[in-house]
Amino acid sequence: MLLRKLIGCVFVLGWGLTLGLAGELRPTQQTAVADVESRQELLKAVNKSIWEFAEVGLEERRSSELLVSKLKQEGFEVKTGVSGMPTSFVATFGSGKPVIGILAEYDALPGLSQKVEGDRVPVVEGAPGHGCGHSGLGTGALGAAIAVKSALQKHNIQGTLKVFGTPAEETLIGKVYMLLDGQFDDLDVCLHWHPANKTGVWAGSSKAAASVKFTFKGTAAHAAGSPEKGRSALDAVELMNVGVNFMREHIKEDARLHYVITDGGGAPNVVPASATVWYYIRADKHKDVENYFDWVQDIAKGAALMTRTKVSLQIETDCHELVLNEPLNEMLHQALVSVGPPKFTDTERALARRLQQPVIDEFGTSIKVAIEERVQTLQEAGEISKGSTDVGDISWYVPTAGLRVACFAAESPGHSWQNVAAMGSTIGEKGMIVASKALAIATLDLFEKPELVAAAKADWKQRMDGVKYTSLIPKGQKAPAKIR
């Protein structure tokens, strides 16, 4: 209790000095905001390029190269291909303490190609699209980093800024393997942001998740002529899935178990000798994921016994829930308030209404506003996310916090073609610019106010007391070369 009071005192004092009673920006922060303003057209062009590239995780070659080239042009020292992933990078500017990190993502989702239109119109049928807005995420991080760099230079501020290019967030890979490789070891604080359908601090936790592929091996045979001589790997996959579906009744309500069959055989008249099913095992706490993973393994072994096949597994990744940080959340909230939420035109609201209509028609949903144009309170923003993010693993190692900014239509479903359209439009661009400014303002607070860094570390230390980071990934395992 005493520690929490001290954190509060330090933090309140810090913000009184940081923004002043009226919330005005200091000259350093004004420099950063002006820098973002001056680069709006550049940032829009970068977002549009990455949006058009639409590269899935671990294949984001052009997207990564574009961000790296812009950072190099601004004087960042950049290492590429870190932690065994060709599309990862770490860009560094400055020297000494503190060391502040900003996270960038840029992977797209399969099958979501979409034009900037209010109806479902793919650019290329079946191609990927930025249904999570990562084209803007990476670009917004770029804008914030360059703005902070400009302020550090102009005002002679000591410290090190790092931008982490983290591939394959959609499959929870990049940050986990970079963390296990020690890429975040020297950070004092890490910040991030994400496009969303609301504007506010990411003040709630997320779900831990393990991504695992189970492969069964059997014996091929003619499915009509000599089925008795075959042992079906597909039967094993199907029996495993049935077992897991019965398991669902007896797990906590926060848990999620979902799968796709990635290999089910080649032809109906051949008993499949090989079959693979890909599972995500999620829960609010990593310890629950560990327990459910053991249970799912037992079900897989049972399916193999029933079909007289052999089973093996490949753990693709294992990510943890977000560890919150109260001082950092307060800092980011104040930064968002000082910038203000994105404001939209009637034309943009009309596009958002068109994007909402299929959801309204399909599910009978009533959506009050076209796009959210306010900053959530910290209390409103504190809901636990039903999704997962590999940012969670970083938060187990270093004080971490993030924000969301409205880039999509209100109540737009995640990973949807609607979000692809919005992120490629001026709706997404406006949200991205707000995110760049807010991240830059907050990052400069950390460089200029050591008491904020101290408060964040004290809060993190208290939350992690007695907690140990463990990973289901076998020690020394390299990042996957590809996902699918």
Q: Residue 119's closest CA among 453, 468, 417? A: 417
Q: For residues 51-79, give the mean pLDDT.
A: 98
- % of the chain exceeding 70 in pLDDT: 95
Separation of alpha carbons 197 and 54, rounded Å: 21
Q: Are 398 and 188 in contact (CB under 8 A)?
A: yes
Query: What is the pLDDT at residue 158?
Result: 97
- Identify the band that residue 19 occupies on the pLDDT scale cut at 50, 70 and 90: very low
Residue 4 has pLDDT above 70, yes or no: no
What pLDDT, on the 0 to 100 scale, is given for residue 23? 59
Structure confidence at residue 364 (pLDDT): 87
Distance from CA of residue 269 to its chain's centroid? 42
Please report, for residues 45, 125, 165, 216, 314, the alpha-carbon distance to residue 474 in angstroms, rounded to integers and kept in the order given.
41, 38, 24, 20, 10
What is the average pLDDT across 305-316?
A: 98
User: What is the reported pLDDT for 383?
Assistant: 82
Distance, C-alpha 233 to centroid of its chain: 34
Report the pLDDT value the prediction gives residue 484, as an integer from 0 to 100.
Answer: 76
How confident is the model over 388-409, as a mean pLDDT?
Answer: 98
Q: Comparing C-alpha atoms, which of 212, 392, 170 is closest to residue 316?
A: 212
DSSP string, 271-335: --SEEEEEEEEEESSHHHHHHHHHHHHHHHHHHHHHHT-EEEEEEEEEE-PPPP-HHHHHHHHHH
What confidence category does residue 300 fall into, taking pLDDT thresholds of 50, 70 and 90? very high
Determine whether 92 is exposed, middle or buried from the number of CB atoms within 10 Å of its CB (0-12, 13-18, 19+): middle
Cα 76 to its chain centre, rounded Å, is 24
pLDDT tops 70 at residue 37:
yes
Give the model's pLDDT for residue 22: 37
Residue pair 381/201 in contact (Cβ under 8 Å)? The answer is: yes
Q: What local confidence, expressed as pLDDT, does residue 296 receive?
A: 98
The Cα 442–Cα 347 span in angstroms is 31
pLDDT > 90: percent of the chain: 92
Confidence of residue 365 (pLDDT cuts 50, 70, 90): confident
The yes-or-no verdict on residue 3 having pLDDT over 60 is no
* Residue-level pLDDT at 9: 44
CB-based contact 390:317 (threshold 8 Å): yes
pLDDT attached to residue 194: 98
Beta-carbon count within 10 A of 201 CB: 28
Tell me the CA distances in angstroms from 278 to 55, 154, 211, 263, 316, one per residue in order.
21, 51, 7, 9, 10
Q: What are phi and psi of 464, to 5 degrees?
A: -95, 5
Name the residue with higher pLDDT: 432 or 23. Answer: 432
Split at pLDDT 50, 70, 90, the class of 342 is very high
Strand-by-strand arrangement of the 99-104 sheet: 77-80, 89-95, 159-165, 99-104, 189-196, 400-406, 200-201
To the nearest 10°, report the CA torsion of 65, 438, 32, 47. Answer: 30
Residue 384: per-residue pLDDT: 81
CA atoms within 13 A on the CB side of 447: 31
Q: Which residues contact residue 388 at a Cβ distance below 8 angstroms, ignoring those fewer than 6 apart?
A: 172, 206, 207, 208, 209, 280, 282, 319, 321
- pLDDT for 452-483, tens place per residue? 999 999 999 999 999 999 999 999 999 999 88
Give the mean model confidence (pLDDT) for residues 234-260. 97
* Average pLDDT over all residues of the chain: 94
Tell me the β-bridge partners of 318: 210
Length of the chain in terms of residues written: 484
pLDDT, residue 11, reads 39
pLDDT value of position 483? 83
